Chains A and B, each alone.
Chain A
Amino acid sequence: MYPNQIDTSPRLRRLILLIFWVVAIYCIYSVVSAALIKRSTGVLNVSSNVIGASIIISQDQRDSRLAGTGSASVRLKPGKYQIYVYANDYQRAEEVTIYKGSVIDRKINLIGAASKKNGNGIFDLLPYIGPGADYYISSTPITEGGGSGPSITITEYDNKSGQDALEWIRSLGYDPNDYIINHVPMTAGNGL
């Protein structure tokens, strides 16, 4: 035995060697898998103007995952995804396509939610009946037992009256793309 050696039993030596190889193989595996993930995925960066807004990623026929709040950065396999942003009673959804190696930045603003401290924006002006009662613009009320909306519903006589309703929204300085808008054809049941 050399002076700088402490007697180590063969069992302990074998254990140390085993631990070394297990950890070494795991380290190599994690680096290789990270490289493969980087090659096979794209990055989606999502941010919102509302701190605390829930950012949820979903895909057709697949479940939804909370990616983060306020902002999120996720790696996704190539494909078409839906981004949902929820804050208080406001929501907005967009679709995005991810490619291998792509880096996509999306800023999804909840205009209504951001302006809520100064009133409810366009929602304060609803319901609104268009000229000639060709369209009717209403908001989804906040419901008991939880919230959804408010989204905008345009009950329209035809396509042109639907476009007129959108034009009315634009004339007030609001962008229809900032809202969830449901178009409902005017029928005997819901007409004016």
Chain B
Amino acid sequence: MSKRYVYLLVLLFVLVISAILLNNLLLGNAKQIRLKAADPLSSAVSRTLGSSGSSDGLAKEGQDYTVDYKKSFDNNTWFVVRIEPGSGKSFDPGVIILRDNHGLILPVVGPGSIFSKDITSILPNDVVQFLNDGGYINVPESD
């Protein structure tokens, strides 16, 4: 191999090291995040589930869970979302009650398959009615 090729390899090495250093200098340790278009409720469900069921970041719809249905109440302020775990995922199916708080969709209750009657005091009547009809509220049996 001629000296020319040895110089070429050294130059290549210097180029790669310089590129790595310049990249670090320009971007620091802040990684760029690109957010894909998604349904806001699915996004909220993924946040609520966190990393449960997913080894890489948040749970993903269609992979870690599927949405059975979404129902909105009170002019799209309250939402009830029923989810099913994806195949091989450990969490239970159930519903999540979400609320749009000035553009921030936050979980209020859930996920769960049956809730204590206490939650009815913090939910609007139509949501309570819906949960009651679906058998999600635990009503103690009277003697």
**Chain B binder among A34-42, A158-166, A170-178:** A34-42
User: A114 at interface (Cβ–Cβ under 8 A)?
Assistant: no
Q: A34-B22, A148-B110 are in contact. Are A140 and B15 (CB under 8 A)?
A: no
Q: Which residues of A83-104 are within 8 A (CB) of B?
A: 84, 86, 91, 93, 95
Closest B residue by C-beta to A103: B30
Bound Cα distance from A1 to B92, whole angstroms: 74
Pairwise interchain contact A30-B94, C-beta atoms closer than 8 A: no
Residue of B nearest to A6 (CB): B1
| Residues of chain B contacted by A118 (CB below 8 angstroms) | none
Nearest-neighbor residue (CB-CB) of A139 within chain B: B122
Whether, in the assembled complex, A60 has its beta carbon less than 8 Å from a beta carbon of chain B, the answer is: yes
Partner of B3 from the list A4, A62, A64 (CB cut-off 8 Å) is A4
Neighbouring B residues of A43 by C-beta, 8 Å: 28, 30
| A58-B47, A151-B106 known; A23 vs B23 contact (CB < 8 Å) | no
Whether the pair A64, B27 counts as a contact (CB closer than 8 A) is no
B32-50 CB mask vs A (1 if < 8 Å, else 0) is 1111111110111011111
Contact B36 A63 (CB under 8 A): yes
Tell whether, in the assembled complex, residue B104 and residue A189 are in contact, meaning their CB atoms are under 8 Å apart. Answer: no
Q: Kindly list chain A residues whose C-beta atoms are within 8 Å of the C-beta of B48.
A: 146, 148
Docked-complex contact B122 and A146, CB < 8 angstroms: no
Q: Taking the nearest CB of chain B, how far is it from the CB of A63, in angstroms?
A: 4
Counted as pairs of residues, one from A and one from B, with CB atoms less than 8 Å apart, the total is: 195
Query: Within the assembled complex, what's the spacing in Å between the Cα atoms of A45 and B109?
Result: 29
Interface assignment of A125: CB less than 8 Å from any CB of chain B = no
Q: How many residues of B contact A (CB 8 A)?
A: 68
- Starting from the known contacts A20-B12, A37-B26, A64-B47, 18 additional A-B residue pairs (CB-CB under 8 Å) come to A6-B1, A8-B5, A28-B19, A35-B26, A59-B35, A63-B37, A64-B43, A73-B30, A74-B30, A95-B104, A127-B121, A143-B109, A146-B49, A146-B52, A148-B108, A148-B110, A155-B122, A184-B124
A residues whose Cβ falls under 8 Å from a Cβ of B: 2, 4-6, 8, 13, 16-17, 19-20, 23-24, 27-28, 30-31, 34-35, 37-38, 41, 43-45, 54, 56-67, 73-77, 82, 84, 86, 91, 93, 95, 127, 136, 138, 140-141, 143-146, 148-149, 151, 153, 155, 180, 182, 184, 187, 189-190
A selection of 11 A-B contacts at a CB cut-off of 8 Å is A6-B1, A6-B2, A19-B12, A37-B26, A43-B28, A62-B35, A63-B35, A145-B92, A145-B111, A145-B114, A148-B96
